[in-house]
Amino acid sequence: MIAVSLRNVLIMFLLVAQFASAQEEAVVPESLELPADIAAKFDARIEAIETQGRAVVRLRYSFESSDGFEAEIYGGRMDTVWSEMFDETIRFAQDVATKQADGFPVSKYAAFIAERLIVFPQESAEVLERLRNDIIYVTGELGPAETAILDQQLLRATQKLDLVIQSIVSYLAVAGDFGVGTETDLDDLIMTVEESAANRSTFLQIAKDNVAIMGAAAAALPTDADIAAQLAVAEARVKVASSALQKVVNLMNQLELDASHYSQQVVTTTGELTSDVLDVGVMGAILSEWSVFVADLAKTEGPRLLFRLIVVIFILFFFSRLGRGVQSLAKKALSSSKVRLSALLTDMIVATAGNLIMLLGILIALSQLGISLGPLLAGLGIAGFIIGFALQDTLANFASGMLILIYRPFDVGDFVTAGGVTGKVSHMSLVNTTFKTIDNQVLIVPNNLIWSGVVTNVTAQRTRRVDLMFGVAYSDDIEKVEKILAEVVASHELVLDDPEPMIKLHELADSSVNFVVRPWVKTDDYWEVYWDLLRTVKMRFDAEGITIPFPQREVHAATD
């Protein structure tokens, strides 16, 4: 409690008188005067402070002459007006001190401030006493709802008390400039702050203990709604207590008091890193506490944790080797299978088999660590739903990739036309397919675009027919032409005998007689045979005097 003894009051009055005398004796340059606008503002501020003071006197009379809820209302109004008057006086004192330091004549305002400041210790002591009586630390057997309400009332009461203490700190910072204030004021304030810190620290520790007790009870009886409600209230109380303690820690730092123990308690309770953690003492205390905790944990739980760790490592190693073995067997079985699978489908089956084995091993290892798999799997399901919704286009490509694997319209190495692209398939995945065009461009096409269109697989069959057409003049010998074409086709070593090549007179065109030549070749030899036959036929036609005509048109002009 802050109290002002009669001796201290007399000392304050002597100091005020001494300060006023010093102000009268001070020599102020005649040319330096306080500007009129500033003087008018200072006069208005004095009038406002005096008005607030009269309001405080009236409210105090109403407060002392009433009781119950009415007294609570008047007390709250009185404290609010008094705090506003206090803060305005402090701000006014700071402004006057600035003008005084600049050499302006402000003795009138300084005397008014000194007169107000000298009574503040006694007034603040009364306010602090009343606010301290409103702080009730509830630890009895109460219902969750009532406890939560009282905790919020406690938080508001501590906030009001901290505001008054902050105002007193501001008062002590300016009181010396006006010859007001004694060491007793500071000592009483320090005692009040330290007492508040100790009480709030103890309350926080009790709240933490209650959380531990209720947490254990909730674990034993997870379906008990009353225990769950009490646990929620206990956790909320820890937050209230931590907030209240942090506020008083800030005040202690302003007063340059040692608050490292309380800062450490706040940090270890809330886990929130504040500027206080940068303090070497706080950091050292926290590290020391953690090191002791780790050492105790290693002594008590070390052997059991080490055994579990060894078991987990063994499980992961065993399933890793098992997964590789399953992959090898799957690859060997699929390679020797009579069912011809695509390269991508084979790789996917092999990889999936190994990954499933490894996933099973991870789940077993997590169970050995005491992690419940039910909530984990449920969380993975929810996450999968969210990811699937966000990646609709990618999943469409994935589904198309699966259909391509199942129905196998093409495979790696095939030359196809699909998705508006013509080229050789160089790589396939479940999302897209990579093509390499004839002119060596690399094109990546989404699988959904491929599956939704027409796919032409040029190299799907082992053999392929070469379609050629040659036109000769109407004057040429048809049988000779057929003989030349047959000899050219038969002489090419890459042309297959079965199916038999077809050479037929196809049409009588406007300017030529057209023959079709359709030999069969291996798919890989298609273009080589195509180009060779074109070149050889032209050379034989030239040697044999066969004419390859070009379009001609006869024009008859009428003459008069």
| Mean of pLDDT values over 326-339 | 73
Based on the number of CB atoms within 10 Å of its own CB, is 84 exposed (0-12), middle (13-18) or buried (19 or more)?
Answer: middle
Q: What is residue 534's predicted lDDT score, i.e. its pLDDT?
A: 92
Q: How far, in Å, CA of 367 to CA of 361, rounded?
A: 10
Q: What is residue 145's predicted lDDT score, i.e. its pLDDT?
A: 74
| Mean of pLDDT values over 412-433 | 85
The percent of residues in the chain predicted with pLDDT above 70, rounded, is 76
Confidence at 336, pLDDT banded by 50, 70, 90: low
- In the chain, the domains with their CATH numbers are 6-255 (no CATH), 279-373 (no CATH), 393-457 (2.30.30.60), 463-544 (3.30.70.100)
| Mean of pLDDT values over 105-125 | 78
Q: How far apart are the first and last CA of the chain?
A: 140
Torsion, Cα of 518, 523, 525, 527 (10° steps): 70
User: Of 427, 432, 445, 421, whose CA–CA distance to 398 is shortest?
Assistant: 432
> pLDDT tens digit string along 271-280?
655 555 445 5
Structure tokens at 147: 């406890």
Q: How far, in Å, CA of 103 to CA of 350, rounded?
A: 90
Structure tokens at 140: 């009895």
> pLDDT tens digit string along 342-379?
666 677 777 778 888 888 888 888 777 766 666 666 66
Q: How far, in Å, CA of 239 to CA of 233, rounded?
A: 10
Confidence at 100, pLDDT banded by 50, 70, 90: confident
CA dist list (Å): 99 to 39, 94, 163, 367, 536: 11, 9, 27, 74, 112
Structure tokens at 79: 């404290």
Q: Which residue has the higher pLDDT, 27 or 114?
A: 114
Q: What is residue 339's predicted lDDT score, i.e. its pLDDT?
A: 57
Q: What is residue 489's predicted lDDT score, i.e. its pLDDT?
A: 92
Q: How far, in Å, CA of 224 to CA of 233, rounded?
A: 15
Residue 429 reports pLDDT greater than 60: yes
The answer to whether 473 and 512 are in contact (CB under 8 A) is: yes
339: DSSP letter: S
Q: Which residues contact 540 (CB under 8 A, 6 or more apart)?
A: 484, 487, 488, 546
Q: Any idea how long the chain is?
A: 560
Confidence at 521, pLDDT banded by 50, 70, 90: very high
Helix (H) or strand (E) holding 57: helix 36-64
User: Of 132, 123, 133, 147, whose CA–CA distance to 56 is shortest?
Assistant: 123
Confidence at 470, pLDDT banded by 50, 70, 90: very high
Confidence at 15, pLDDT banded by 50, 70, 90: very low
Helix (H) or strand (E) holding 471: strand 468-472
| Mean of pLDDT values over 170-175 | 69
Q: How far, in Å, CA of 102 to CA of 200, rounded?
A: 44
Torsion, Cα of 254, 259, 260, 265 (10° steps): -120
> pLDDT tens digit string along 71-84?
878 887 887 888 88
Confidence at 427, pLDDT banded by 50, 70, 90: confident
| Cα Rg of the chain, angstroms | 49
Q: What is residue 161's predicted lDDT score, i.e. its pLDDT?
A: 75
For the sheet containing 468-472, what is the strand order? 468-472, 513-518, 502-508
Helix (H) or strand (E) holding 514: strand 513-518
| Mean of pLDDT values over 235-248 | 81
Q: What is residue 1's predicted lDDT score, i.e. its pLDDT?
A: 33
Residue 418 reports pLDDT greater than 80: yes
> pLDDT tens digit string along 204-219?
888 888 888 888 888 8
Residue 62 reports pLDDT greater than 50: yes
Q: What is residue 3's predicted lDDT score, i.e. its pLDDT?
A: 37
| Mean of pLDDT values over 452-461 | 83
Residue 515 reports pLDDT greater than 90: yes
Residue 386 reports pLDDT greater than 60: no
Q: Widest CA span of the chain, in angstroms?
A: 150
